[in-house]
Structure 1
Amino acid sequence: MSSVSITINADIRLRFAAEEDVPLILEFVKALAEYEHLLDKVTATEEGLRKTLFKDRRAETVICEYQGKPAGFALFFHNYSTFMGKPGIYIEDLFVKPEFRGKGLGKILLLYMAKLAAERDCGRLEWACLNWNEPSIAFYKSQGAVPLSEWTTYRVTGDTLRSLAKSL
């Protein structure tokens, strides 16, 4: 994980999260879930985030501050493309609080993720977006992103995951 802090201008600063940011990260996760109408699906805890983000280092978080206040975040991890033979970055969450929208913060976070992917010699930058989220879809397309319509994401969780794990 990096400890880099980047000042974009007098109002905007990006920084990698530190362990003391865990309550803030959980606040962002819940705010994103509320926006996506999925708050009832959040089971993350501060303890779990502390373990996975800072002890096990499974993912990284960039905090965006506007005039010294936490305004948004991007949480990401590395994946891998066997076809390219290179790592990639997968953005799990990119979110800006409603009161800070319209200031270009989402674009700055996305551009920073692209910069980080290039610096880390990644072959791609990927993320998912809910099909109904037209404002985000339009934004991503305006930045040159293309939807992968030929791929379908599959998922197993909870009891199904545990059942599969016991099958071997």
Structure 2
Amino acid sequence: MMKNNSIHAAPYVFRAEERILVDANVWLYLQPPVARPAPSWANRGYSRVFANLLAAGAVPVIDALILSEYLNRYVRIEYDACWKEGYAKFKDFRSSPAGVTVAENAVAEAEHILSFTGRLQDTMANEISLSDVFAEFKQGSIDFNDGILIENCRLRQWKFLTHDADIRVGGIDVLTLNKKLLGA
């Protein structure tokens, strides 16, 4: 796979109707769990980027993989920060009254995210080159879900807004504030 084109998200000028797939890690900065608010630099930085995206009339996009990662990570962050001592097993926490409350909060945040993005986008799994994703995954150069997201962006000609420093291959435009990714 080709290297990605890393673009600094802060000065980037969004275009009307431009589709931007927003990664779960960015959503966790924009809509963080109560137990772990986003660092101030991330909150300010990605909030500004997202405001610019909306002001320009660009379209934030979400798919099922990102929504899944957001919800699962949200609940795990809350568990690790506040509930791990009371519940030895994560699955026990998840089905407890506390876990149900955390999940309800996570879903409320996800519904807020969907108010910006509209409906979920299809991952176009039937058009994705799974052999390419498998090859990169076997070499350790990508996480499988990241490979699917990269392929989806490539096929749909979307840009990918992420803070994940591992997003280095795929031949797509990656918008980020991550200095490691910008230096790649």
- TM-score, L = length of structure 2: 0.26
Instruction: Select the structure that is richer in helix.
Output: 2
TM-score by length of 1: 0.27
> Which one has a larger percent strand, Structure 1 or Structure 2?
1
